[in-house]
Structure 1
Amino acid sequence: MVKYCPKCGAEIKREDAQFCDKCGKSLRVKKVNTSRGKSTNKRKRVIVVALILIVAVAGFICYESFFAEHLKTVNIGVASFNCSDDLNFTMGEIGEGYVRYQDQSDSYLVKVWDFSQTSFSYEEGLSLANEAVQDCPSYYVDGILIYNSTANVGEHVGDARFITFIEDSGKNMQAQISTPTPEDTVLIAKSFKFLA
């Protein structure tokens, strides 16, 4: 078989020649390193996966920082519940058998009755606490019965209030939760626990 120089096209006369006699071009055949190509592809895949992970982690951090609802647990002595991180509940009015807790704007209220500490029986206390609210329109949100009412005292008179009741007959206790949104009422109600 006749070989020719790939550079100048001169005929190569010797079978074992390593250089072209006319132009001096090397005639050695370079071996293709297939393992290098595989490692380059593998490296590219690792870089792509690393970039995807970095973007995913950055996305999660952004979501947590800007969009996720930040919650805290509030302990009011007789009960605990979760609420938005920006709410601060303090003890307000104390009446016969109940204590009222409110946030700094007086828009979020948690009123707790301990009927074992009053002259009312548990049944009398429940009807007394629920009487006014039960006339309001009601519906279920995430399994919690919500009464759609309006604030009737203080600087928020006429503002929307979404109310629900949490009861523990074994402890003779009841709580009334009132917030400006049904979502906040449900959030507090679902996490509400009597501690006494």
Structure 2
Amino acid sequence: MKHFAKIAVISCAACLALVACSKKEPPKTEPTPAPAPAAEAPAPAAAPEQPAPNADSLAAEQARLEAERLEAERARLEALINQIMSEDVYFDFDRSELTEKARELLAQVGELLIKEKRFTLTIEGHTDDRGTEDYNFTLGAKRAMKVKEFLSAYGIENERMESVSYGKEKPKVEGENEEAYSQNRRANFRVNIKQ
């Protein structure tokens, strides 16, 4: 029986050896790289970091913007003033009544004055050089007053207007003919801006 046990042990050992030998070692292969992920859009480049604005740069920018605003406002007011001052109201010989053309012009001036409340107006009355100094001074005053009355009726406050007469002292055109006379029979404007 001992012998039988030995044979059994040897048989088992042989079986084990056969089983162990029958298993083949798997072939060695290079590892397959994982497939590359689908192409992705590049991430947007980060904007360079801007330094936080400091109080000085903000104040400087505000000052610059305010200066630009004031300059634009000054230019606008200057254009309006020039528009008003470039127009003269003309009168017929020895008359202070407003013509239809004068009324149309004064309506435009009135609209500008209504829109721009800061404007004050000096209305200057003039005459041609015919007639005495006193007569022309009085006629110039009447012409300026007619313009002021029209603008007052249009809605412009009397406190914003004053009238003055220069008579024949400040002619627009020199000369002793009807062309010169007709240019000097006028009322014109000086515009001021109240603060």
Q: Please report the TM-score for the alignment, with normalisation by the length of structure 2.
A: 0.34
Q: Select the structure with the greater relative contact order (CA < 8 A; seq sep ≥ 6).
A: 2
Q: Specify which structure has the higher proportion of strand.
A: 1
More helix by share: 2
TM-score, scaled relative to structure 1: 0.34
